[in-house]
Structure 1
Amino acid sequence: MSTMERPLLVKLRRFAIVGLMNSAIDFAAFTVLVYLGLAPLFSNLLAWAVAVIVSFAVNSRWTFVRSHKFHLGKAFAKFAFSGSIISLGSSTIAVWLLPPLIGVFPAKIVGIAIGAALNFFAARWSIEDRLA
């Protein structure tokens, strides 16, 4: 089977594996930055930036089949833009609103989980240039 014929379930499984790794990177970077004294919202932004670079590198080589129109800079811009709306948006809202209710670290986990659930199609759009 060629990589162009990679089944959707294989892509979903690989995306989940990368997502778990990426979530661990995001959470670890966030934790270190908060413990170093940076504000949670700023720590969230920096941790997300590290995680999105790793996520794009792995997903664009292993999870998805690159579109014939794939251009590294454009694909990364689409990936980072959609990720900023989905992942960064959900984790920022969670880190901003939920700490008084559940604490800053559980809030970060909630934000990561919500973003991960939405990111598959955004990543597929940016790398494979399709949504369906």
Structure 2
Amino acid sequence: MSDAEQPRRSTGDKIIRFAVVGLANTAIDLAVFTLLVSLHALPLAANLGAWVVAVAFSFAANSFWSFERDRAIPLHNAFFRFISLGALISLGVSSLSLALLAGVIGVWPAKIGGVVVAAVLNFLAARWSIEGRLVK
């Protein structure tokens, strides 16, 4: 079946798929973060390393499973858009959360809080970067 003949997924289906990818992505992010912290990396450096691994997985999974990639957007452009908006939202929000809250509530609560806030913003960013649209 060609792309044109594929049935379009509903926004609800995309949200569910995005959430499944997000859960897997969060597990990858936290696992790499944990590994790097256990190797005595500073929390912000560990966050950056975990982000690099997680964002690569997230783009691949969301591009080929969660969303209906607009084939008019070259893959490298979609990846650049994904990184420049969606992924930097994640890195910025989680790093800001660590920088502002880790000393107050601890590293783990700050990291998890940043991940939750970033997830909402990332859905819109991923949809724009992969499908070329924010809404219907």
The corresponding residue for 2:31 is 28
TM-score, normalised via structure 2 length: 0.92
What is the deviation of 1:4? 4.9
1:77 pairs with 2:84: no
2:117 counterpart of 1:119: no
- Which 10-residue stretch deviates more, 58-67 or 2-11? 2-11
Letter of the 1:115 counterpart: A
> How many equivalent pairs are there?
131
Cα RMSD of the aligned pairs, angstroms, is 1.1
Give the residue type in structure 2 aligned to 1:102.
Answer: I
AA in 1 matched with 2:78? A
Please give the alpha-carbon distance, in whole angstroms, between the structure 2 residues aligned to 1:95 and 1:4. Answer: 42
Is the contact between residue 60 and residue 127 of structure 1 (CA under 8 Å) also seen in structure 2? yes
State whether residues 67 and 131 of structure 2, in contact with CA within 8 Å, keep that contact through their aligned partners in structure 1: yes
Q: Which residue of 2 aligns with 1:37?
A: 40
Counterpart CA distance in 2 for 1:128 and 1:28 is 29
Q: Residue 93 of structure 1: CA displacement?
A: 0.4
Q: Distance in 2 between matches of 1:41 and 1:100?
A: 13
Structure 2, unmatched stretches of 5+, are none
Q: Which residue identity is paired with 1:89?
A: G
Q: TM-score, normalised by structure 1?
A: 0.94
Residues 1-132 of structure 1 aligned to structure 2 (within 5 Å): 3-132=6-135
Percent identical across equivalent pairs?
52
CA contact (8 A) 2:86 2:121 kept: no
- Once residues 4 and 11 of structure 1 are traced to their aligned partners in structure 2, the CA distance between those partners, rounded to angstroms, is 13
